[in-house]
Each structure stands twice: as structure tokens, then as C-alpha cells.
């Protein structure tokens, strides 16, 4: 059984159900005592930009922003793919608290050490 969980998310506001579910699964994994990281790729990087996650919610009623607050409060690392963010004109200064830019090499290293959930 893995003690580490990596949640990969490649969609953002374009798919609020999947986007919210990624934050939800990261939260559940943390509450289950797992060491969790959330890595945002492609459109997912928009969710790490200040001010964009507030209105993202799933059909189940889960609110992505509430889940983000939990992850931030528990220091769960959130990575935004560096080239994905730069292509969308998102800089490190634009990111929410607790998020930082991440490289493909970091993602691969974490994936090799973790159970991976990809949405």
C-alpha cells in the first residue's frame, strides 16, 4: 500500500466536475493520513491562479474553493506545470498561497514514488 498519493489534474474551469473531484480526492487522501501532492497540468493550472477557483463546483455540490482552503491549511503541496502556466501567462506571483511552479521531472519523480490518480 502506498503512503503517498499524487493527484494529476489536466482540466480546469472547462470541466468543473473533474476539477473539483481532483481537489476532493486530494482532501480525502490527506484525511486518510496519506502524504498528498496535487499537480496541475494544461487547463488545470488556471485553478492555481488567484481568483479563478471561487466559482468552480461539482454537480454533487462540492466546492473546489472550500477544498483548496483545506489543502492550504494542511500544507498539501500544489504544483502548477511551469510550461503550461507560462503558456497561459500565469506567473509564480499569480499563484494562490501554497502553490508553486513544478517541472515535468518533479512530477515524474513524485509519480514513481506514489499512487497516482489522474483526472
- The predicted structure's pLDDT at residue 2: 78
E strands, 10-118, are 35-40, 78-81, 99-102, 115-118
- 65 is in which domain, residue-wise? 4-118
- The predicted structure's pLDDT at residue 55: 87
37, 81 Cβ separation under 8 angstroms = no
10, 119 Cβ separation under 8 angstroms = yes
Query: In this structure, what CATH number is given to the domain that contains residue 49?
Result: 3.40.1260.10
50, 95 Cβ separation under 8 angstroms = yes
Q: How many domains does the chain have?
A: 1
**How large is the average pLDDT for residues 83-112?**
97
Residue 11 clears pLDDT 80, i.e. is over it: yes
Dihedrals phi, psi of 29, to nearest 5 degrees = -60, -40
Residue 44 clears pLDDT 70, i.e. is over it: yes
Pairing of strands 115-118, 4-9: parallel
Cell of 106: 518533479
**How large is the average pLDDT for residues 12-40?**
96
**How large is the average pLDDT for residues 83-97?**
97
Residue 1 clears pLDDT 80, i.e. is over it: no
Grid cell 492550504 in the structure block, residue: 72
24, 55 Cβ separation under 8 angstroms = no
Amino acid at each position: 500500500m502506498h503512503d503517498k498519493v499524487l493527484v494529476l489534474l489536466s482540466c480546469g474551469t472547462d470541466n468543473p466536475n473533474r476539477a473539483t473531484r481532483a481537489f476532493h480526492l486530494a482532501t480525502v487522501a490527506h484525511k486518510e493520513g496519506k502524504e498528498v501532492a496535487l499537480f496541475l497540468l494544461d487547463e488545470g493550472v488556471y485553478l492555481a491562479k488567484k481568483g479563478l477557483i471561487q466559482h468552480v463546483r461539482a454537480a454533487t455540490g462540492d466546492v473546489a474553493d472550500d477544498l483548496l482552503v483545506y489543502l492550504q491549511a494542511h500544507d498539501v503541496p500544489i504544483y502548477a506545470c511551469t510550461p503550461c502556466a507560462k503558456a497561459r501567462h500565469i506567473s509564480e506571483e499569480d499563484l494562490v498561497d501554497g502553490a508553486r511552479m513544478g517541472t515535468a521531472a518533479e512530477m515524474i519523480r513524485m509519480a514513481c514514488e506514489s499512487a497516482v490518480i489522474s483526472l
